[in-house]
Amino acid sequence: MSAILVCQFALRRSLFNGVVSSVDGSRVPWASGSRRECNSLHILITGGAGFVGSELAVRLSEKSHRVVVMDNLVRRGSESNLERLARHGVTFVHGDVRNPEDFENLPSGIEFVCDTSAQPSVVSGYSNPVFDITNNSLGVVRVLEYARLNRCPLIFFSTNRVYVVDRLLELPRREGATRIEWDAEAWKKLPVESRARGFDPAHGISEEFAVDGGQRSIYGLSKLIADAACQEYAHAFDMPIAVNRFGVIAGTGQFAKLDQGWVVWWAIAHYFRLPLKYIGWNGKQVRDILFLEDVCALVELQMNQMDRFRGDIFNLGGGAENSLSLREGTQLLERKLGHGTTITSEDAVRKADLPIYFTDNRKAAKMLKRHAKVTIDERFDRILEWIRLNEASLKSRYGA
């Protein structure tokens, strides 16, 4: 098989059995994190100053890993995470994943890559689609190239928004007192050949659900391109890559806003009595929630078995047992705070929005031997405590 001479790295890289050949002919394997339990690795986290990336960086640094984060700090609030990262010995590099020259500023010896960089708002994608696609798609290809040339296993943070909204809307559902539910009885009555693949009314949406045909949002499109690129690179270059399709992620330290991070935004708005609005479905729309502690724990488990993965896809979410409607979130917060806030309702549904989604976690649970452990009730207690401890700064940030 032909080789590619890459002078910058002084390596002749062969696309054979996942190895490269050095100039002197010796064979160089993939970085050690792909083959054994990773006791201490030099890890790059792109988008590492953001909500998820910064928490993952701190967690990994506490496990004796050397961590470098690269971030362009375009997300409001991400700069406030830099002090905490520095306290934990995490190296910060200002850079943009869209710019290949920014990768040249990274320290040498990186052994593992976690790509958490993204423009994460579904709503924002419609106002600036080119930014979504260049950042979320082209940016990931830049990260893949960096990982390929440096022989690094890669974990990519994808999204459940890759699944086709039109197919999701076709699933039978019914309206309950506080939430919309998938209708198991109506599902059973459908002819087997008419039932959507990758769906179970009790467990939710699995990795086999449709990604072709119909809308998924501009954001979803941008992540689907990146998702597919990761799978293709894994097979083309025998790269150890895991693709995680996350749903709603929430936790303390999240600078949430109306169009992204709704769980923490709902808590902040109730705490400061800021006005809210149910947009579509009268507040009965349902999502499952995966809390940040579980995200980090699942990623750490994957890091220890990367030799098993070649573009493997995992749906990671809170699952049916950790699902919540907006109305139920309102009731929970009113009970915990002893007060509510003004909430209006709008019938119009946002483009590519869904009345119900929760994740079928069974593949990940079987392979990684772990389920989500943090419950909604205890996590809301922690979120509210975080708001109390940071009341002054949050009040200023949100104009409360």
Residue 83 backbone class (left: φ over 0; alpha: ψ -120 to 50; beta: rest) = alpha
In-domain check, residue 54: no
Q: Is 111 helix (H, G, I), strand (E, B) or coil?
A: coil
In-domain check, residue 83: no
In-domain check, residue 275: yes
In-domain check, residue 236: yes
Spatial distance between the Cα atoms of 193 and 208, rounded to a whole number of angstroms:
15
Handedness of CA 346, 353, 169, 316 (dihedral sign): negative
Local structure of residue 237 (DSSP, 8 states): T
Which whole-number Å values give the CA distances from 115 to 12, 28, 357, in the listed order?
A: 26, 24, 24
What pLDDT, in 10s, does the model give residues 180-233? Answer: 999 999 999 999 999 999 999 999 999 999 999 999 999 999 999 999 999 999
Q: By C-alpha distance, which of 293, 261, 249, 318 is closest to 59?
A: 293
At 11, the pLDDT band (50, 70, 90 cuts) reads very low
In-domain check, residue 38: no
In-domain check, residue 168: yes
Amino acid sitting at position 140: V
Residue range 243-267: average pLDDT?
Answer: 93
Q: Which residues pair with 71 in a beta bridge?
A: 94
What pLDDT, in 10s, does the model give residues 137-186? Answer: 999 999 999 999 999 999 999 999 999 999 999 999 999 999 999 999 99
In-domain check, residue 77: no
Q: By C-alpha distance, which of 257, 252, 288 is closest to 274?
A: 257
Which whole-number Å values give the CA distances from 123 to 116, 128, 140, 345, in the listed order?
A: 19, 10, 21, 18
Q: Is the pLDDT of residue 7 over 50?
A: no
- Which pLDDT score is estimated for 37? 54
Helix (H) or strand (E) holding 292: helix 292-303
Domain that holds residue 293: 118-397
Total number of domains constituting the chain: 1
At 12, the pLDDT band (50, 70, 90 cuts) reads very low
CATH classification at residue 189: 3.40.50.720
- Its pTM stands at 0.90
Cβ neighbours of residue 231 closer than 8 Å, sequence gap 6 or more: 241, 243, 311, 313
In-domain check, residue 85: no
Spatial distance between the Cα atoms of 352 and 317, rounded to a whole number of angstroms:
19
